[in-house]
Chains A and B, each alone.
Chain A
Amino acid sequence: MSTKASIDMSPAERVAFLKAGDVAIVCAPTASGGLVARVAAYRAEGEDLVIDLSGAAAALPQVPGAVALVDAYPTYDQIKGVMLRGALEQGPAAGTVRLRTERASGFDFAKIPKAPGS
């Protein structure tokens, strides 16, 4: 019986991956029952993100129930990504919001076992 290998990132791996990146796609619910999503520059503080609200990112509201995705796809075998869920709150500086992360997950395709001979 085979055991499916886990491609999950550890918390330390997620933190390192977020620190190495600088752009996230952030989506938040709106008061009218819809969603708003924007790509924004960020700075990681552990698994929290301080998000730059420059330009179109200013549309992101300060609300709970937001999600942010950071990923990399140089090759199939190198796909990595982190998904963060939490609340968007006032950021440490004007023109920023903080994603206060409540739940985090990450995946790393490099952890997929290679088939024999591949």
Chain B
Amino acid sequence: MADTKTAISPAIDDFLKRHRRAYLFVRAADGSARGWPLTAFHAPGRLWFTTYKKSPKMVHVNAASQALVAVLTDEGVAPVSYVIVDGALTVREMTPELVEFVMAARPDDGRRIEASEARYRRALTAGKRVVIEVALDRAEHFTVAKGR
């Protein structure tokens, strides 16, 4: 996969490589904000998410050209630290290369179980999922004083 030059600082890029807990936001056709929790996969110059083509969110995602992504420190870590990414949004078909990238990049933190791994790979290769790509055009880091 071709590298994309990132427009963000090395520190923020490192944060995005280490944290996967994310929330994707777009503007709906009526101008309102819509958002969804998703796992973020970091690739050079972009974040990737996978979802089902028929997911209700795709109505809004397919119509959007820009997105905000909030990537947070892991649950239970205090204070909560996060990065807001603002970038161009592109929807891509799942390719074999992307399937292997996503499978390899999934967090190995004890929360995965073998049965769900096989099911997840089948879902990725069945042609039912797409990749949502958000370019790392702009990003800013914040910390919340209160955490949980």
Contacts and interface: CB of A to CB of B under 8 A. Distances in A.
Interface of A: 21-23, 25, 27-29, 33-41, 52, 54-57, 64-67, 69, 71-76, 81, 83, 85, 115, 118
B23 interface: yes
A54 B21 contact: no
19 contacts: A21-B148, A22-B146, A22-B148, A29-B33, A34-B66, A34-B86, A35-B25, A35-B26, A35-B33, A37-B23, A37-B25, A37-B33, A39-B70, A65-B30, A67-B25, A69-B37, A73-B75, A75-B110, A75-B111
Nearest to A22: B148
A28 to B, nearest CB: 6
B27 interface: yes
B25 A27 contact: yes
Interface string B23-45: 10111001111111100000000
A75 B112 CA distance: 8
A39 B32 contact: no
Given A35-B27, A37-B23, A69-B23, A25 B33 contact: no
Given A39-B72, A67-B35, A76-B111, A23 B148 contact: yes
A34 B138 CA distance: 13
Given A25-B70, A34-B66, A35-B25, A40 B144 contact: yes
Given A34-B86, A67-B25, A67-B32, 17 more contacts: A25-B72, A27-B25, A27-B33, A34-B66, A35-B33, A52-B146, A54-B145, A55-B145, A65-B30, A65-B33, A73-B75, A74-B75, A74-B111, A75-B111, A83-B36, A115-B115, A118-B115
A106 B68 CA distance: 22
Contact of B35 (A25, A52, A73): A25
Contacts of A34: 27, 66, 68, 86
A29 B31 contact: yes
Interface string B62-79: 000010101010011000
A46 B147 CA distance: 21
A23 B82 CA distance: 12
A77 to B, nearest CB: 8
Contacts of B110: 75
A73 B142 CA distance: 21
A22 B147 CA distance: 8
